[in-house]
Amino acid sequence: MLRAVLCCAWILGVAAGARAVTLNAGDLLVADAGAGGGSVIRVDPSTGAQQTVVSGLGDLRGVAVTPTGSIYAATQSDVLRVDPATMTATSVGAGFSDLQGIATDGAGEVYLVDKNPGGPSVLRLDPSSSSVTSLLAGNTYLSDPSDIVLDGSGVIYVSDLAGGSLTPPASVISIDASVVSLVTFLDNLSVPLGLARDPSGGVLVANALPASLVGVDALGSQALISSSGMMRDTVAVAASSFGVFVADRGDSSHPASILEILSGGGQLEVSAGNLLTQVGLVDLDVYPVPEPRTAFLLVLGIAGLATLPSLARGRRTTV
């Protein structure tokens, strides 16, 4: 089941001037199915600079980073471990039907949602052995899943566009061991494409129509956090101590971009350049603090950068 993605290594190896990518705590990792034949792209949130980490991956569906910094990407049928030092990717699991989302936990295991024709599945993958465990299967709760995320206690959340036999369309379910629950009840959601864990304990939902970011607490109550502004087609969200960020595909009036969501719902564009593609933008995550003892200083550094005037950094802000 293990196999190296040699084509990616070969393509990058012959590229003139190709250099290893250095990732810093707080960097954004973006999955873009249209850029470079399927790329993971680094976006520096303080400058907006973009850099390709690895390309030629194919039909990308998501990217996720473990707390220790291991990077995984999902294509339609494979799960890949990304090595920024060599700018290559290696398969740690293959043979999936139609992956739609990827997440990781504190132990380094990978969680997937597979839109299997025989009924959607929520799966856990051990990347060290490629063994797969089914956690939920069938059409009872899901029919068109779009993303997956875990909270700090191990509860799994999955968004779904069409709903299962017991759940309505545009919903989010939770899986807590063997207990499956409906978390949302329509309200602000219509096309929930992306999920992230809210540092305060809830779930953040990237809703594509209307383009918005919606917060959902543990009881299912919803709050509209941010909408309109520079948002056109919001497809993914990532959250950490470094901030809350959304990936937006844009439209004819605004390019595909990464936006930071500020206190009060304001939006700050943090992407610069043209690596991101409109139709290919699918997911993003935040590279973590590498060592606990440096967390406080790193967060202070990022916070200091965030207080600089947006014009000094060449970025646009809207509220």
Say which CATH number the domain at 208 has. Answer: 2.120.10.30
Structural domain including 301 reads: 3-318
Rounded average pLDDT over 73-95: 97
Residue 75 in this model has a pLDDT that exceeds 60 = yes
Residue 47 in this model has a pLDDT that exceeds 70 = yes
Show the CA angle centred on residue 240, arms to residues 239 and 242, nearest 5°: 110
Count of structural domains, the chain: 1
Residue 27's pLDDT is 98
Chain segment 86-140, per-residue pLDDT in tens: 999 999 999 999 999 999 999 999 999 999 988 999 999 999 999 999 999 999 9
| 276 close to 248: Cβ distance less than 8 angstroms | no
Residue 26 in this model has a pLDDT that exceeds 50 = yes
Residues 6+ apart with CB under 8 A from 89: 5, 8, 40, 54, 57, 73, 80, 81, 82, 83
Query: What is the number of other CB atoms lying within 10 angstroms of the CB of residue 99?
Result: 26
For the chain, how far is it from start to end, CA to CA, in angstroms?
48
- How confident is the prediction for the chain on average, in pLDDT? 87
More confident residue, 283 or 15: 283
Residues 6+ apart with CB under 8 A from 101: 61, 62, 74, 112, 113, 145, 146, 147, 148, 149, 158, 159, 195, 283
Rounded average pLDDT over 62-70: 97
Region of poorest pLDDT, from 124-128, 164-168, 270-274: 270-274
Residue 315's pLDDT is 55
| 36 close to 56: Cβ distance less than 8 angstroms | yes
Q: Are strands 60-65 and 317-318 parallel, antiparallel or unpaired?
A: unpaired
